[in-house]
Chain A
Amino acid sequence: MGGISSGFGAWNPIAWALLFVGILAAGFIVRSFGKKEYKRGTGQTKVFLSGNEEPEASAALHVRGRHLYWGMVEGLSGYYRRVQALHTGVLSDYAAWFIGVLGLVFVILVLVR
């Protein structure tokens, strides 16, 4: 029940959700076989940073939005340079794109009929 079929594949979210819950439950059962005798708040649960001190949680530590996908944007920099340059922000350019696409659509429709 509750499934859709696209003619070539099927997707049943209820089955997926049950499977997800089942895997979570299995993971939880495996976790419950672990050691229970440890003391919270002592050195046993502290973060290990190669022997360094854990720094103060301040705003300077936060990785800002612009740095997050730097590598990917650098890799695609050729594409981005050209495409971002096309988004000039000038209204006349927007209208030029509009008239350009209009002309192109006319040419295609009249040529191919």
Chain B
Amino acid sequence: MTALTNHAPVLLIAIPLLGAFGVPLIGKLGRGARNTFVGLIALITAAFAGLLAATVFARAGAPGLYVLGGGGFGVPLPSGLSVPIRIILEADGMSAFMALITALITLTGAFFSFSYWKDRSGGTLFYSLLLLLTAGIFGMELTGDLFNFFVFLEITSIAACGLIGFRVWLKNAQEAGFKVMALYTLSGLFVLLAVGLLYGQYGGLNIAYLASALTGSTIDIVALGLLLTGLALKAGAVPLHMWAPDAYGEAPAPMSAVLVANSQASLYGLFRILFTLFGLTISVATLGWILVVLALLTIFVGVTMALIQNDIKRLIAYSAVSQIGYMLLGVGVGLTVSVAKPDYGFVAMQGGIFHMFNDAVCVGLLFLVGGVITRAAGTRDLNRMGGLAHSMKWTSVLFIIGAFALAGVPPFNGFASKFLIYEATFRLSPILAVVAILSSILLLAVFVKVFQAAFLGPRQEGIGGEVPAGMMVPMVALAFVIVAFGLFPGFFIDKIVTPAANALWYGRDAYIGLVLGGG
């Protein structure tokens, strides 16, 4: 058991990767065998994510190392300094938190797809791409090496775009796939340029090593700008968000949720770079305010653009973009005050990080319900559907739960994280809290529009019909998580969110010391 625990970080990446390349082989045996295989891989991955999280949170979020290739990783130089040379996976509280999110979303996405993709062909390659995307996201979240981060970033870009454009008979999906792939590649290349700049300047690729060697020179500032903008594009911050409605809207419904997890992994990468790699060697006030301004724009533009959409999945996509702004806001406020470290900075970080989990679960549920609505109504146009609540009562209840939770209505989990964000950002500047609260109310208006258009109204013939259990169970599982996290937020914040926030807020020295002090 300890062997499994020790190897959990690399197994989290290796098992989905093995599954991705094994699915076409197992798929030769038939659909049942393939679905069982994919389900088994997803369950085992989720189990390892839980094991990793249990291990990391049991030691209060302190980082833990895994050296690919085993053995020592330090090469002593004549000057006495020890340079880390292998690829190192470093899992601290924040990584484990993100791994939990990814595991939950991909598990529900995979199980939803078994039922959703049942009557269509091409399922084998679909699941292969899904498992590849999962492996890439876990790699981004667990790695401690900057170039390795870039490689996994590109893996997720390719797999995500493959999934977006998967239905080649759909015209708009191809357009979305091209646009998203072009932008992801461009931003990935700028990230690689930044990694190259840092390597050329300091001679190392390990995040902890670079963090200890950074001096804040002009080249570092250039690299920081490239990394910030490149990862902000992948996360979907306004004004770099325009690919997001295309991507989330054209992907198959269960994959939109996993794409949101992908964006959150890029956001995690941004936070890791800002807090752990650069830390206080740069002007955190400037950087924090850049993040806060981006966050405000994202929150406001995201939700106002959602209000005028006629396509249900594009609408949910814009609201997902808007919620990324809340995460940026919370953590941005934390970054702005991370020199003086007042209490409200930590509360803001807790709110922002907790919102990452809540948003993933709520938007995941909404995308799944959106897929169900699209399938039941036969169209994605909000102006042509109606009266679905007559025949799909459970789905409408699930939609209400997801919509209220995302909009921050008590007692769901969205309210708990947004409450922390409102209260903490108010202390930095009242405008932040005002924009955040107003946009939450607008988001509720957006979902009232969807509810009215899709569910209310007289029954229309030919559409509707309750979904089969295969699609209902993942949605109910997500709703259960929403309600559970909403009724007991204190427990989850103490156990899961606070170690993650600590790892970013206070944990830079521990992160660096683990790699440089040992070996």
Contact = CB atoms under 8 A, between A and B. Distances in A.
A101 B190 CA distance: 13
Nearest to A88: B242
A112 interface: yes
A11 B242 contact: no
Q: How large is the interface on A (under 10, 10 to 19, 20 to 34, 35 or more residues)?
A: 35 or more
B218 A110 contact: yes
A105 B450 contact: no
Interface stretch (B134-142, B162-170, B454-462, B468-476): B454-462
Interface in B467-504: 486-491, 493
Interface string B405-440: 000001100011001100110010000000000000
A49 interface: no
A2 B347 contact: no
A91 B458 contact: no
A11 B416 contact: yes
Interface string B382-423: 111011000000000000000000000011000110011001
A1 B491 CA distance: 9
Q: Is the interface of A mostly helix, strand, loop or mixed?
A: helix
Contact of A94 (B242, B301, B411, B445): B242
Contacts of B493: 4
Nearest to A58: B458
Interface in B281-313: 282-283, 286-287, 290, 301, 304-305, 307-308, 310
Interface in B196-234: 218, 221-222, 224-226, 228-229, 232-233
B283 A98 contact: no
Given A13-B411, A101-B240, A69 B449 contact: yes
Nearest to B293: A108
B458 A59 contact: yes
Contact of A62 (B226, B305, B386, B423): B386
A45 to B, nearest CB: 19
A26 interface: no
18 contacts: A2-B489, A4-B493, A7-B343, A7-B424, A8-B427, A16-B411, A57-B459, A59-B460, A64-B383, A64-B384, A68-B448, A72-B307, A95-B182, A97-B242, A101-B229, A106-B222, A109-B282, A110-B218
Q: 4 closest Cβ contacts across the A-B interface?
A: A65-B453, A65-B382, A62-B457, A57-B458
